[in-house]
Structure 1
Amino acid sequence: MAKPNIFALPPGVDFARELLDGLRARIDGPPEAMAEVELYVNTERMARRLRSLFDQGPATLLPRIRLVTDLADPLTRAQLPQPVPPLRRRLEMVGLVARLIEAQPDLAPRSALYDLADSLVGLMEEMHSEDVPPEKVAQLDISDQSGHWARALTFFNAVQPFFDEGAEPDRQSHARLALEQRLNRWEIAPPQHPIIVAGSTGSRGTTAAFMRAVARLPRGAVVLPGFDFDMPDTVWDRLGDPMKGEDHPQFRFARLLAELGLTKDDVARWTGALPPSPARGQLLSLALRPAPVTHQWMSEGPNLPDLRQACADVTLLEAPTTRDEAMAIALRLRDAAETGTRAALITPDRMLTRQVTSALDRWGITPDDSAGIPAQLTPPGRFLRHVAELFTKDLSAEALLTLLKHPLTHSGAERGPHLIHTRDLELHIRKKGLPFPGAEAVQAWAQAHDCPQWGAWVAETFCDQREAGEPALADWIDRHVALAERIAAGAATDGSGGLWQENAGRKLQEIVSGLAAEAEHGSPLDARDYADLFGAILAAEEVRNRDEGHPHILIWGTLEARVMDADLLILAGLNEGSWPEMPGADPWLNRKMRADVGLLLPERRIGLSAHDFQQAAAAPEVWFTRALKSDDAETVPSRWLNRTVNLMTGLSDRHGPEALATMKAKGAHWLALARASEQPLTTAPARRPSPAPPAEARPRELPVTDIKKLVRDPYAIYVRRILRLRALDPLMRAPDALMRGVLVHSVLENFVKATQDDPANLTVETLMQKTAELVGDAEQVPFPTIRALWTERMRAISGWFVATEAERQALAHPAHFEVRGKAVIPALGFTLTGQADRIDIDDRGGAHIYDYKTGSAPTGPQQKQFDKQLLLEAAMVEKGAFKDLAPRHVERALFIALKPGDLKEVPAPLDESPPDKVWEELALLIAAYLDPAKGFSARRALMSDSDFAEFDHLSRLGEWDVTDPADPEVLT
């Protein structure tokens, strides 16, 4: 054989089918001749496709189909050391990096531990694959003043033992050893059977070396996928320099040919198959020319075929948003499912594929996603991560209920009673405001609700799990698994419930078992590091269920486009940063340093993506899709799409603009369908509500605080008092104005009582002592920052309050705190209830009513018209509404505003609105709202149109505004 055997197939052909046809044409002999063939392919999907094509007939023996990632000879595999599991190497690297950071904290922050470990593992594998020893990296001549290179060398020196002779090999070094073993054996005894490498571009050094060796064998051959036969020699000759051409789709092939001493003309066609649209292939070939020779567009463009014919089966969809893009793609895939068309969505944008999958779910279509679901996002993955978080911090109400409601919790038996208990416990936590429920509180509640066994299970498995030490990794896994299984089993049974069941559960059990098997190679970890490590391990794994996906609706990665067994290919997410993906940051070597030592450049991934794009874009029917905006930012079209569109725009003689307009029109059609599918049904906007329920349904008792709402927003009274609807209390009570107000009232009450016991306590020091007892109590305020903030807020008002309190006590004696009362309007059968913060009695028996406000106090005019709380309490005092309180009159009533920077006393206008008058006005107001014809109008007289109202969502504010009339709607 004069030259190495290199064959190729053009972009767009069904590579697997043509590979098989060419193989059958060349294997002309008895049936066992095919069984002698050793066929290496690039992916497991390609191997499955080849087997399925063989199964279609005619009957024959199968060749030995293997992957290029497994180069060990089956006959001599036992002589090779076993490769280290990737997880073991990762754990070893985490421990190594952790020790380096502990010894030299200035090397890197602790938060970068796992990223640094993963990047080091990736760099080591690349160095093994490209046969680059650490010494070559260390010998780089770097003039670095910042010290970065010195820090990087610290890490390189630490990983030196992994490259020493006799070190346990990882996957890439094992592949290198397997290749060396095989090539040495071939030197002695060349194989006499056919060996073919098909479908690989040789992007990795080990794979490329294997391809070169096979091509030189007497009965060896390499079949390249997506080889551009249309590209002229002048362009091929420019692809030799990786610093300039590695991002071109044909660069890997040009490099392989150069290393074999071949030219483009030495590459033979494996079969005579032509691509579905040769004219489109010529267009793409010219559009993707390297930047230095794009002037060839001017000379070669006019020679292209009619672009209307070339792009007859191409659709260009430019959607306003990613949601519109996903919806249009989903509609096209649904159409393909109904017509029996085999369609594949190809994109590296996993967020887009999830959006498409979600849209397809509404029609009951589950695509066959080759990437599956990240293990951390599966139900058992989420469950195990939640359990791991229990070790990191005190149990919060949110964490407790998140786990209690998880579908795997208590899945062993009696799931129904468990959900009932969970609901009741949640309502209790919300009502009592328990942000951090403890074991004693949970068990006390369970005892009171007749479920002590369930309560004991919750207290035992969820409470007090925080771990402060640094146990060994194996101990962490044992404790983690035991706790997860106990939670999954539930209170009524043993075992593990449904945790390890179904496809996802079995995969997670496999991951956890693998971690346990390698745990001895991990280092001691604290709870936070263990939870982060466990989450990172799950994030690196995927869960697939090949049986649930639709047989004709596929989601592929870009690499799988080479299989080419679909009638329609949708190339989605064609924006810069998405396709191609931008190379990630390399914390170790820059672009030039990589080139100097022989490592792969960042453009390698771009070049591979470009090749995958050229392959897929030549399919029988193609969609190009992109979103014009992503996250409210303008996007830039993918460089390959941009080049193709620009080339077509300039080729008016070849009808390029017309072809482009047709492509966009087809995309606009599907985009219009997508918008129509999400167009809501036309309904009339809601009117401004003013419900008028019958008289017997109207409230006959209200607190004084609701009178303001009855005046300003009657609809809130209708919802709360008639419909009896209330918003759920927050699960984690926020340190809001309500909590602060309750605490301030308690602090001031305790302080004033202390001054009554001993007048010497009327000091700032005593007030701050009472503040520390309540505001500084971790159980009362379980938020350290808020405790400090509110304490300082009290300190800011303490001087003013003590001074004015001395004046108040000189006028009257504090007699009643938080006193409740009620007064009746007999003619209406209505009762007004109220609770006064504080009532002092002077020497003449006059009442002094005080109300503390931690925010702004209402002004006099506001109190006269709307906020009548103090005026009504004064009227209630004179009506004898408060038990054991019978003053002859109300001397004064005032708000004590405790807002820092605006400290003041705001008196109620008793002279202008005396109690008798206020009571008469109240009777008129209540009588009006007891009239069945009177409606409870929404937002009747709020101070500002922008004010928040509690039930705006129920009134459907936005479909109406305050200028709309509120016509009463009589209810029966």
Structure 2
Amino acid sequence: TLLPRIRLLTDMADPAALRDLPAPVPPLRRRLELTGLVSKLLDAQPDLAPRAALFDLADSLATLMDEMQDEGVSPDQIAALDVSDESGHWQRALSFLNIVQRYFEQGEEAPDTIAFRRYALEERLKRWQETPPEHPVILAGSTGSRGGTHRLMCAVSRLPQGALVLPGYDFDMPGPVWGGLTDALSGEDHPQFRFARLLHELALDPVTLPHWHDQPAPSATRNRLVSLALRPAPVTDQWRSEGVHLPELTEATEKLTLVEANSKREEAMAIALRLRQAAEEGTTAALITPDRMLTRQVTAALDRWDIVPDDSAGIPLQLTPPGRFLRQVAALFQRDLTAESLLSLLKHPLTHSGSERNTHLRATRELELHIRKKSWPFPQPELIEAWGEAEGFPDWAHWVAETFCQPPLHGTQALSDWLMIHVERAEAIASGPAKGDSELWKEGAGRKARQVVAELEGEASHGTDLDARDYADLFGAILAKGELRDRDAPHPHILIWGTLEARVMGAELLILGGLNEGSWPEIPGADPWLNRRMRHKAGLLLPERRIGLAAHDFQQAVAADEVWITRALKSDDAETVPARWVNRLMNLMNGLPAKQGPDALKAMQARGRHWLALARQVEAPIK
């Protein structure tokens, strides 16, 4: 073949080896199975955890299982940990870990997706060891942060024509610093730690590593500045010794803008104004942030100029009209119907969308006025029907009384039964009294919601018996995992990326938004199973891994040609803390007056204040 074979890292299985492996279990089925197992354990031992934590525990247990499969850590290794000083918590954790033991025994259960990927990778590496391929094999764009990827990178580097292309490699970091990045407990949060570990294992000198190409960096002096700012904490004294050798910083930061807004709304408006200018000039601009609330605010601000950004993440399915509608219907099974829940659902755009929507809205308005006048906290079906006869909406009032005013469902039912009555009631509410063709399953959001429901229906037999509250929580959690790309045609030059997408794409202008602690980098989630020391002993990933990857994303993105760094000084009326990398960069620049560091920082802030002033003018009320 003349064209190269291009594969994702998650699709490295040898087609010939797939015949010998059992088909992987769908992730939803495994999650439902874990939910059932945790539910039975909580029923048997109620003191282990509150019932409200059922789905969070099942989720975190599934995440831990995936990580153990990917890192090649067995439950026996976890059970063998020395926990003499934390026996109480550990015994509770072991109770949960013991119920998933069978999923790690090959042949006992069909493998889940991560285990299947690991088995396929092991088969591939075994074949390579027996008969190494003679053709070129190039692995590009990975930091090797996961165990399976790290093993694959090591194997590729040892092939006759194997090559690794490392993204965001720091060529300005000296050898002694590379040599100090060996301990995960102290260096995992550094952006280059994963490369240091890989090169150490391959016995390669990080300083002499060759460049992939000869194209110069957009700003080599800025790369030197950022590299020095991000040095590991034990060697930050090098700021004094190496900072004097940096060139003048005004040139390095000439295309760097620092926006420090008073609020997240002001930050979003300043970003939107700059994106609008980029759209007018035909410049490709991308907002990079893990903060989904900020991206929604920026999207809303751009809407006033009819600019629809190309958002790589789209909208969470649970926040789309069908997602909200289905969650509201699921809540009806839990408690007696309140006036608030009745009116909010009647006003939903998908309710009574089959036909005669105008009549429905008029009747809803009249019913709301009557409910407020009579102060009905819990509208009763006979009262609604009597009101409908008096006001000339008998059929509509009968439909409301019959469809909405049903008593709550007590006790447990099978998941498949819950789905059946949930979908039937949702379709009845959406179609209206005429039972016409509603808008519930139409458009992109409706089709996606129908797809998720159909998938859940197909796997419902693997679920457990649930009460109304547990079912609503489960359904909402499954919806939350779905995403919908905007159905409208986005602007070709205005992009919104997560940090993952930004690793492999570039733009003329990069806006790094939400650079505050807790946002970028995100705070590592609480681990109910293993603490930091136990994870390190077991060979699992440390919480600092996410911070190190976020630092690598920042270092790679800030090296672009024109870059904005934005943050809000306050969030929800509370003072924020700048991201550690921004803090380091500002402190380093302020400490280098001989290199015009303070002046360069003030110039960056002045460029940001210009756009903040424009944002305040846009938001100012018209007098």
Common fold, TM-score beyond 0.5?
yes
Question: Aligned partners of 1:656 and 1:567: how far apart in 2?
Answer: 25
1:503 and 2:447 correspond: no
Q: 1:247 to 1:651 in 2, by over 3 A?
A: same
Question: Aligned partners of 1:103 and 1:244: how far apart in 2?
Answer: 41
Where in structure 1 are there 5+ consecutive unaligned residues? 1-31, 38-63, 683-972
Spell out the pairing of 1:55-454 with structure 2 (5 A cutoff): 64-144=5-85, 147-166=88-107, 167-265=109-207, 267-454=209-396
1:528 and 2:475 correspond: no
Match of 1:462 among 404, 407, 413: 404
Question: Aligned partners of 2:202 and 2:333: how far apart in 1?
Answer: 58
Question: Aligned partners of 1:446 and 1:78: how far apart in 2?
Answer: 65
1:558, distance to aligned residue in structure 2 (A): 1.2
Match of 2:570 among 606, 629, 637: 629
- What one-letter code is carried by the residue in structure 1 that aligns with 2:460? A
Match of 1:490 among 411, 432, 439: 432
Q: What percent of counterpart residues are identical?
A: 65
Quote the RMSD (CA, aligned, Å): 1.4
Question: Aligned partners of 1:243 and 1:453: how far apart in 2?
Answer: 68
Question: If you compute each CA radius of gyration, which structure gives the higher value, 1 or 2?
Answer: 1
Please give the secondary structure, in 2, of the residue aligned with 1:147. helix
- What one-letter code is carried by the residue in structure 2 that aligns with 1:333? L
1:306, distance to aligned residue in structure 2 (A): 1.6
* CA deviation string 1:315-372 (max 9, x = no partner): 0111111121111111111111111111111111111111111111111112111111
Please give the secondary structure, in 2, of the residue aligned with 1:221. strand
Q: Is residue 368–residue 546 contact of structure 1 (8 Å, CA) maintained in 2?
A: no
1:85, distance to aligned residue in structure 2 (A): 1.3
1:546, distance to aligned residue in structure 2 (A): 6.4
1:188, distance to aligned residue in structure 2 (A): 3.1
Aligned to 1:809: none
Question: Aligned partners of 1:71 and 1:445: how far apart in 2?
Answer: 66
1:673, distance to aligned residue in structure 2 (A): 0.6
Q: Is residue 315–residue 486 contact of structure 2 (8 Å, CA) maintained in 1?
A: no
Please give the secondary structure, in 1, of the residue aligned with 2:247. coil
Q: Is residue 383–residue 408 contact of structure 1 (8 Å, CA) maintained in 2?
A: yes
Q: Is residue 42–residue 49 contact of structure 2 (8 Å, CA) maintained in 1?
A: yes
Question: Aligned partners of 1:75 and 1:170: how far apart in 2?
Answer: 20
Where in structure 2 are there 5+ consecutive unaligned residues? none
- What one-letter code is carried by the residue in structure 1 that aligns with 2:534? M
Task: Answer 1 or 2: which has greater strand percent.
Answer: 1
1:138, distance to aligned residue in structure 2 (A): 0.2
1:426, distance to aligned residue in structure 2 (A): 1.6
Please give the secondary structure, in 2, of the residue aligned with 1:463. coil
Structure 1 residues 276-285 or 418-427, which shifts more? 418-427
Structure 1 residues 298-307 or 189-198, which shifts more? 189-198
1:570 and 2:514 correspond: no
1:266, distance to aligned residue in structure 2 (A): 5.1
Please give the secondary structure, in 2, of the residue aligned with 1:69. coil
- What one-letter code is carried by the residue in structure 1 that aligns with 2:592? L
- What one-letter code is carried by the residue in structure 2 that aligns with 1:530? Y
Match of 2:536 among 595, 617, 621: 595
1:582 and 2:506 correspond: no
Q: Is residue 302–residue 651 contact of structure 1 (8 Å, CA) maintained in 2?
A: yes
1:73, distance to aligned residue in structure 2 (A): 2.1
1:447, distance to aligned residue in structure 2 (A): 2.2
Q: Is residue 247–residue 610 contact of structure 1 (8 Å, CA) maintained in 2?
A: yes
1:476, distance to aligned residue in structure 2 (A): 0.5
- How many residue pairs get aligned? The number is 622
1:555 and 2:555 correspond: no
- What one-letter code is carried by the residue in structure 1 that aligns with 2:491? H
Task: Answer 1 or 2: which has greater helix percent.
Answer: 2
- What one-letter code is carried by the residue in structure 1 that aligns with 2:584? R
Please give the secondary structure, in 2, of the residue aligned with 1:271. coil
Question: Aligned partners of 1:306 and 1:479: how far apart in 2?
Answer: 70
TM-score by length of 2: 0.98
1:290, distance to aligned residue in structure 2 (A): 0.4
Please give the secondary structure, in 1, of the residue aligned with 2:98. helix
Question: Aligned partners of 1:546 and 1:266: how far apart in 2?
Answer: 49
Please give the secondary structure, in 2, of the residue aligned with 1:107. coil
Aligned to 2:586: 645
Please give the secondary structure, in 2, of the residue aligned with 1:237. helix
Q: 1:346 to 1:414 in 2, by over 3 A?
A: same
Question: Aligned partners of 2:235 and 2:42: how far apart in 1?
Answer: 49
The structure, 1 or 2, with the larger RCO (C-alpha pairs under 8 Å, 6+ apart) is 2
1:449, distance to aligned residue in structure 2 (A): 2.7
Question: Aligned partners of 1:161 and 1:638: how far apart in 2?
Answer: 42
TM-score by length of 1: 0.63
Question: Aligned partners of 1:593 and 1:146: how far apart in 2?
Answer: 12
Q: Which consecutive aligned stretches of 4+ in structure 1 deviate over 6 angstroms post-superposition? A: none
Spell out the pairing of 1:862-877 with structure 2 (5 A cutoff): none
Aligned to 2:616: 675
1:519 and 2:439 correspond: no
- What one-letter code is carried by the residue in structure 1 that aligns with 2:486? N
Question: Aligned partners of 2:400 and 2:570: how far apart in 1?
Answer: 47
Q: Is residue 380–residue 508 contact of structure 1 (8 Å, CA) maintained in 2?
A: yes
Spell out the pairing of 1:772-921 with structure 2 (5 A cutoff): none
Question: Aligned partners of 2:597 and 2:63: how far apart in 1?
Answer: 45
Aligned to 1:10: none
1:456, distance to aligned residue in structure 2 (A): 2.2
Structure 1 residues 206-215 or 446-455, which shifts more? 446-455
Please give the secondary structure, in 1, of the residue aligned with 2:564. strand
Q: 1:128 to 1:600 in 2, by over 3 A?
A: same
1:145, distance to aligned residue in structure 2 (A): 5.7
- What one-letter code is carried by the residue in structure 2 that aligns with 1:90? R
1:406, distance to aligned residue in structure 2 (A): 0.7
